[in-house]
Amino acid sequence: MLAAPVVMLDFETTGLSPDMGDRITEVAALRIADGRIVERYVSLVNCHVRIPPFITSLTGITQAMVDGAPPATEVVPRLLEFIGGDTLAAHNASFDEKFLRAEGGRLGLAPGHGGTVCSLKLSRRVFPQLGSYKLGVLSGRLGIPFRGTAHRAEADAEVAAELLLHIGRHLASSYGIARVDTPLLLSVNKLAAAKVHAFLQKHAAAA
């Protein structure tokens, strides 16, 4: 399952929009291969910006922590090199991908990942009966242990990675799909929820 590498990404940021000047404060990138986490890149990031008090209250990341962290000019190139051409994944992927592109763009660098899987969208399509798809709620409902502190990049990325693997195992057992790979997840991501069940049945029959 998921033999080809997938990199689960999570950013902590100063706000919601890089277009409004918000920046990253912490990153975690976890490489998943052969059904497990095999490698990780984790760092606080100094973007030389003020950390709003509400962000410190939410994440525990303080001004002093980022002031003493490696600069974005060091972290972002290393992050892009770590991701390489692997498939990218994130929970609410549009958020993390737009920050990845914005931070890379500031340095004249473009991400080279091969497609993006959103574990939030996948969860909505594969588990349509759940009322909330927030990472903390999902992990509790699905029996995925939440190690570490919520709203810190590594802890969130680790739970999201385990969620992605859980989804893969669920598809394999529920539909008899022998090989759950990234092209399948990318296809499910793009479907309307009402079409997912029939698509997976057809995929299993054709395999």
Sheet containing strand 116-118, strands side by side: 36-44, 24-33, 6-13, 87-90, 116-118
The percentage of residues in the chain with a pLDDT greater than 90, rounded to a whole number, is: 91
Q: Which residue do the tokens 């939410």 mark?
A: 58
Does the residue 36 lie in any domain? Answer: yes
What gap in Å lies between CA 2 and CA 90, rounded to an integer?
Answer: 15
pLDDT band at 108 (very low <50, low <70, confident <90, very high): very high
What gap in Å lies between CA 12 and CA 142, rounded to an integer?
Answer: 24
Q: According to the model, what pLDDT value does residue 120 have?
A: 97
What gap in Å lies between CA 173 and CA 116, rounded to an integer?
Answer: 24
Q: Which residue do the tokens 């692997």 mark?
A: 86
Of the candidate ranges 43-47, 119-123, 160-164, 202-206, the one whose mean pLDDT is the lowest: 202-206
pLDDT band at 131 (very low <50, low <70, confident <90, very high): confident
Does the residue 1 lie in any domain? Answer: no
Does the residue 135 lie in any domain? Answer: yes
Q: According to the model, what pLDDT value does residue 173 have?
A: 95
pLDDT band at 117 (very low <50, low <70, confident <90, very high): very high
Does the residue 138 lie in any domain? Answer: yes
Catalytic center residues: 151
| pLDDT of 206 over the 90 cut | no
Residue range 47-61: average pLDDT? Answer: 96
| pLDDT of 178 over the 90 cut | no
Does the residue 11 lie in any domain? Answer: yes
User: How many helices (H) and strands (E) are present in the chain, helices listed first?
Assistant: 9, 5
Q: Which two tokens stand for residue 79?
A: 């992050």
Q: Any idea what the CATH number is for the domain that residue 106 is in? A: 3.30.420.10
Global pTM value = 0.95
Residue range 126-137: average pLDDT? Answer: 92
How would you classify residue 202: left for phi > 0, otherwise alpha for psi between -120 and 50, otherwise beta? alpha
Residue 10's DSSP bridge partners are 28
CB 97, CB 116: distance < 8 Å: yes
Domain that holds residue 74: 6-206
Split into its structural domains, the chain has a count of: 1
Does the residue 10 lie in any domain? Answer: yes
